[in-house]
């Protein structure tokens, strides 16, 4: 058994992605796409995913260390299970074969794999009391290694210290408890995990906004980025025409505009480009 699947297993798990990969096999969506996605809203991403059959990629109701800071990054997934002695023993032995030598610091095993642009996404089955995956020391390591942050479906501690982390990072979590992490065993790194209603795979693009978190399959990331840019321009036009009372909200708030409105939009866009 392995803590982290082999490169071949991760490639098989994420075979929808045909682009570049990290040495461990995770999909490597280009930085340029991540930069574009920073402008996308949750609903814009949600709409594209729904249209392509991905209806369960959103998880909401989070607390944040940096409310209002939008994060975009590549998921490093991990999952904890309730501790049982025989399973923990097997995990500690497997971890040692993969150079994770500190048996009682399994949360640090995850952190040691993180690199710039990653988001640590951890399923600890909502555990908060003795389910605190990071405090301000581990949180500082996550922040400095990724420059992005984490999504923890469970607890954190040292909240006051974590709030002071700098560099545009944000940690999404369920709640705070002063107790340290106890009585759990790490089931895997870069395995499929469940966060709320969503199944998350390694290399998914995490878009964390004040609305919540959407996990974008890597093969749809560029399309989400491009579509959201188009929707953004349409939103500006629509709101301008609404405030001018040229059209009604029933005209504008529809999936596809009537021909004369679409023509007006295309003309408006051309004029805008001409002014530049
Ligand atoms: O060691 C722990 O349980 C986590 C912690 O407090 C920290 O990261 O500062
Ligand atoms: Mg601490």
The residue ranges of every structural domain in the chain are: 7-215, 222-275
pLDDT for 216:
98
Task: Report the C-alpha gap between 154 and 174 in whole angstroms.
Answer: 5
Ligand nearest to the CA of residue 155, numbered in listed order: 1
pLDDT for 49:
98
Residue 242: C-alpha distances to residues 233, 248, 258, 270 (Å): 14, 6, 15, 19
Ligand 1 probe mutation, 152, 180, 182, 184, most atoms within 8 A of CB: 180
Read off the pLDDT of residues 134-146 as tens digits, 9 standing for 90 and up.
999 999 999 999 9
Phi and psi of 234, rounded to 5°? -65, -35
Ligand 1 probe mutation, 105, 158, 163, most atoms within 8 A of CB: 158
Quote the ligand 1 centre to 169 CA distance (angstroms): 18
Mean per-residue pLDDT over the chain, rounded: 97
Q: Given pLDDT bands bounded at 50, 70 and 90, which one contains residue 21? A: very high
3-state secondary structure of 151: strand
Quote the ligand 1 centre to 158 CA distance (angstroms): 8
Q: Given pLDDT bands bounded at 50, 70 and 90, which one contains residue 239? A: very high
Q: Count the Cβ atoms, other than its own, within 10 Å of residue 89.
A: 12
Is 74 close to ligand 1, i.e. is its CB under 6 Å away?
no
Residue 168 pLDDT more than 80?
yes
Quote the ligand 2 centre to 107 CA distance (angstroms): 13
Is 158 close to ligand 1, i.e. is its CB under 6 Å away?
yes
Is 137 close to ligand 1, i.e. is its CB under 6 Å away?
yes
Read off the pLDDT of residues 88-121 as tens digits, 9 standing for 90 and up.
999 999 999 999 999 999 999 999 999 999 999 9
- Domain at 7-215, CATH homologous superfamily: Ribonuclease E inhibitor RraA/RraA-like (3.50.30.40)
User: Which residues touch 16 (CB under 8 Å, ≥6 apart)?
Assistant: 217, 218, 219
Q: What is the pTM of this model?
A: 0.94
Residue 276 pLDDT more than 80?
no
Residue 117: C-alpha distances to residues 32, 37, 67 (Å): 12, 13, 19
In contact, 23 and 6? CB cutoff 8 Å:
no
pLDDT for 275:
84
pLDDT for 44:
94
Q: Which atom of ligand 1 is nearest to the CA of 140?
A: 8
ipTM score of complex:
0.96
């Amino acid at each position: 058994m392995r803590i982290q699947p082999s490169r071949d297993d991760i490639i098989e798990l994420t075979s929808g992605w045909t682009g570049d990969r990290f040495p461990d096999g995770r999909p490597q969506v280009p930085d340029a796409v991540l930069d574009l996605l920073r402008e996308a809203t949750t609903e814009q991403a949600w709409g594209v995913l729904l249209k392509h059959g991905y209806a369960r990629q959103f998880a909401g109701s989070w607390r944040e260390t940096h409310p209002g800071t939008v994060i975009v990054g590549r998921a490093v997934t991990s999952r904890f299970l309730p501790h049982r002695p025989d399973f923990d023993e097997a995990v500690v032995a497997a971890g040692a074969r993969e150079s994770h030598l500190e048996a009682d610091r399994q949360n640090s095993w995850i952190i040691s794999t993180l690199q710039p642009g990653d988001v640590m996404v951890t399923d600890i089955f909502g555990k908060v009391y003795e389910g605190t995956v990071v405090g301000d020391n581990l949180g500082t390591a996550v922040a400095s290694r990724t420059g992005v942050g984490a999504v923890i479906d469970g607890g954190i501690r040292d909240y006051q210290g974590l709030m002071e982390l700098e560099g545009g990072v944000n940690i999404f979590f369920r709640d705070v408890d002063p107790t340290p992490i106890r009585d759990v065993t790490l089931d895997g790194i870069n395995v499929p995990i469940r966060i709320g209603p969503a199944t998350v795979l390694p290399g998914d693009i995490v878009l964390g906004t004040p609305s919540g978190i959407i996990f974008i399959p890597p093969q749809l990331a560029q399309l989400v980025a491009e579509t959201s840019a188009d929707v953004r321009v349409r939103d500006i036009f629509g709101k301008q025409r609404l405030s001018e009372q040229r059209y009604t909200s029933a005209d504008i708030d529809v999936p596809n505009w009537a021909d004369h409105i679409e023509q007006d939009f295309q003309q408006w866009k051309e004029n805008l480009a001409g002014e530049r």
